Amino acid sequence: GAPGDVNSNVLVARSTGDAQLDKAVWQWLSWDKNQKTKEQIESLLQDGKHKELRDRLCCRLTFGTAGLRSAMGAGFCYINDLTVIQSTQGIYKYLERNFSDFKQRGFVVGYDTRGQVTSNCSSKKLAKLTAAVLLAKDVLVYFFSTYVPTPFVPYAVQQLGAVAGVMITASHNRKEDNGYKVYWENGAQITSPHDKEIIKCIEECVEPWNGSWNENLVDTSPLRQDPLKKICDSYMEDLTKICYHRELNEQSSLKFVHTSFHGVGHDYVQLAFKAFGFQPPIPVPEQKDPDPDFSTVKCPNPEEGESVLELSLRLAEKEDAKVVVATDPDADRLAVAEQQENGCWKVFSGNELAALFGWWMFSRWKENCSPDADVRNVYMLATTVSSKILRAIALREGFHFEETLPGFKWIGSRVKNLLDNGKEVLFAFEESIGFMCGTSVLDKDGVSAAVVIAEMATYLQGQSLTLAQKLVDIYETYGYHISKTSYFLCYDPPTIKRIFERLRNFDGPQSYPRCCGVYNILHVRDITTGYDSSQLNKKSVLPVSKSSQMITFTFQNGCVATLRTSGTEPKIKYYAEMCALPGHSDRSMLEEELQKLIEALIENFLEPAKNGLTWRSA
């Protein structure tokens, strides 16, 4: 768009009295070719809604824990046609600088099933525009012909030797949101400094280039390839590397229900079960097909537990299926529920599932490794806000356990590094039900996790055990790890900042709290500032992360608690865990102690009433 596209007189007549805002409005109306989002800005201008215009136009998207993520709609800090074009132009510029063979090696583009009619915005359309920017610059683009699970993009980047890839998804966020997740040539999500450098490149070329709006290029350009069949076949083939009991699976009488939460998961989970020799899981009919409105759940996040699993649990009861697996809308995370002997359902937490996966992946390794395999070459990883159960298993069994910052992008990069150094990585996880079984995909993957859980349940059934019983057995062996994670909503960033600054200057300037209610604090680690009282030099071993708030307290009673802001939503999250040594098995006492400590943490450090925080409705 040339400036002539817009009747300039109208704009001058409607000046907002703020030169920066006038410029942003002018840019938007000159550049945006999506009628719906253009009209959203025009009508705000006509109605004199300058504050909202400023909120929409005077800030940019930034990379959080999962790439760019925001609401769909008009504005430079929202996800829409124009901001996706701008982001892709920046990425093009950055990749061109970094790879001499960028155009030949190519770029992968995948997408989920989100959309918003009022902005004429859908994941597929945004993916087509992403592809168009690159195709117009003569880059080979692997554009999936239909929606895929998020893990297919990092997998394809590695399989096809591409330089990078993008997945258009907002995972399990509310239906209004969408996002833009970037993977590097190593198949892991980008971490710093790439994200900062890409943002700089985006700012250097904000005006759409000729050809960037041509979304039909994916249908006409000879440089566009569809990797769907090749990647899907290859993925399912690789999956069998972590299948250990095919014969059992083929004979199993155990029935499974799968819900794909109105997202991409159905077809792919069906194929994965087939690859393991299972009968296909029973799908939840109302939730099996994509629906951008997620109309049968209050929020499309399987982490919310029983309330959102209602339909699948009722179907499982009707079908006499004992285990329910739920993939989130982009199929990179997995929730699991199991019917107990009393008929009630147990929905496992991410930390409980990790205990099961950790035990399973290690015991399978041990049973199948060559006689000269060295257990000291074996690794498992978790993010630092996740349960320390893998650490307990590792100490006992002799393999290595490592922690990373929150966000799977840190795990992916570290795993790649370990693999390049000849190490074997069996499993990695984050407590928000993100699991990586094996290393075919260097990101969390709900499709592989679903079928591994099915095989585990089948194997345990052969030993007359349920998943829940095995979990107790793992805790009895390695020590109870009781954890609780929840969150408060806070829509006011200054309040969030104030809460964390108060903790940094608690008993005076630059002094952290020494106790929380009756609980004494042993150590404090502040990832935002890089301080760690437990280290000799007082510096945190994990890298500093200035852009987000995160403080961890280690208490004298063995509890570890972390307060942090979410990288993708307006939340203050808290994580707390009691770790007991093997043999200290009074579970109810541990639970009670943890509950009291959490209450003290909330009352003394978060002060919800004073700060106007809304507690998660659960």
DSSP sequence for 341-357 = TTSPEEEPPHHHHHHHH
DSSP 524: E
Instruction: Report how far Cα 617 is from the mean position of its chain's Cα atoms.
Output: 21
Report how far residue 193's alpha carbon sits from residue 388's, in angstroms, rounded to the nearest whole number.
Answer: 29
* Residues in the chain, total: 618
Which band of pLDDT confidence, cut at 50, 70 and 90, is reported for residue 568?
confident
Q: Which of 420-434, 559-573, 598-612 has the lowest mean pLDDT?
A: 559-573
45 beta partners = none
The pLDDT value given to residue 9: 43
152-160 and 228-239 helices, crossing angle to 10°: 100
Question: Which residues 6+ apart lie within 8 Å of 437 measured at CB?
Answer: 242, 357, 361, 426, 427, 445, 448, 449, 452
Question: 575 vs 582, which has greater pLDDT?
Answer: 575
Per-residue pLDDT reduced to its tens digit, 56-110? 999 999 887 678 999 999 999 999 999 999 999 999 999 999 999 999 999 999 9
Place of tokens 């690789």: 238
b/e map of 127-144 (b: 16 or more CB within 10 Å)? Answer: bbbbbbbbbbbebbbbbb
Whether 415 contacts 428, CB under 8 Å: yes
Task: State the CATH architecture for 24-232.
Answer: 3-Layer(aba) Sandwich (3.40)
Whether 258 contacts 327, CB under 8 Å: yes
Residue 13 has pLDDT above 50, yes or no: no
The pLDDT value given to residue 431: 96
Pairing of strands 481-489, 614-615: antiparallel
Per-residue pLDDT reduced to its tens digit, 26-58? 999 999 999 999 999 999 999 999 999 999 999
Mean pLDDT of 434-444: 98
Pairing of strands 481-489, 434-437: unpaired
30 labelled catalytic: no
Which band of pLDDT confidence, cut at 50, 70 and 90, is reported for residue 17?
confident
H-type alpha helices, 288-349: 306-319
Whether 199 contacts 182, CB under 8 Å: no
Pairing of strands 378-383, 424-430: parallel
Report how far residue 535's alpha carbon sits from residue 523's, in angstroms, rounded to the nearest whole number.
Answer: 9
Report how far residue 293's alpha carbon sits from residue 291's, in angstroms, rounded to the nearest whole number.
Answer: 5
Which band of pLDDT confidence, cut at 50, 70 and 90, is reported for residue 547?
confident
b/e map of 366-401 (b: 16 or more CB within 10 Å)? Answer: eeeeeeeeeeeebbbbbbbbbbbbbbbbbeebebbb
Residue 116 has pLDDT above 60, yes or no: yes
Nearest one of 55, 59, 54 to 17, comparing CA atoms: 54
Report how far residue 499's alpha carbon sits from residue 605's, in angstroms, rounded to the nearest whole number.
Answer: 7
Domain with CATH 3.40.120.10 in the chain: 24-232, 236-242+249-348, 351-478
Given 3-state DSSP classes, what are the helix, strand and coil percentages for the chain, each rounded to the nearest 5? 45, 20, 35
What fold characterizes domain 481-615? TATA-Binding Protein (3.30.310)
Question: Which residues 6+ apart lie within 8 Å of 395 measured at CB?
Answer: 401
Q: Which of 30, 70, 119, 171 is catalytic?
A: 171
The pLDDT value given to residue 208: 98
| pLDDT mean across residues, the chain | 95
Q: Does domain 236-242+249-348 have CATH number 3.40.120.10?
A: yes
The pLDDT value given to residue 8: 46
Whether 595 contacts 500, CB under 8 Å: no
SS3 279: coil
Whether 482 contacts 359, CB under 8 Å: no
Whether 56 contacts 76, CB under 8 Å: yes
Whether 410 contacts 189, CB under 8 Å: no
Percent pLDDT > 70 in the chain is 97
Per-residue pLDDT reduced to its tens digit, 261-290? 999 999 999 999 999 999 999 999 999 999
Q: What are phi and psi of 143, to 5 degrees?
A: -110, 115
351-478: CATH, from 3.30.930.10, 3.40.50.1860, 3.40.1160.10, 3.40.120.10? 3.40.120.10
Percent pLDDT > 90 in the chain is 90
Instruction: Give one word for 33, left, alpha or beta, with left for phi > 0 and alpha for psi -120 to 50.
Output: alpha
The pLDDT value given to residue 581: 86
Domain with CATH 3.30.310.50 in the chain: 481-615
Whether 254 contacts 174, CB under 8 Å: no
b/e map of 469-494 (b: 16 or more CB within 10 Å)? Answer: ebbeebbeebbbbbbbbebbebeeee
The pLDDT value given to residue 4: 44
Nearest one of 142, 156, 141, 139 to 96, comparing CA atoms: 139
Per-residue pLDDT reduced to its tens digit, 124-174? 999 999 999 999 999 999 999 999 999 999 999 999 999 999 999 999 999
Report how far residue 274's alpha carbon sits from residue 193's, in angstroms, rounded to the nearest whole number.
Answer: 41
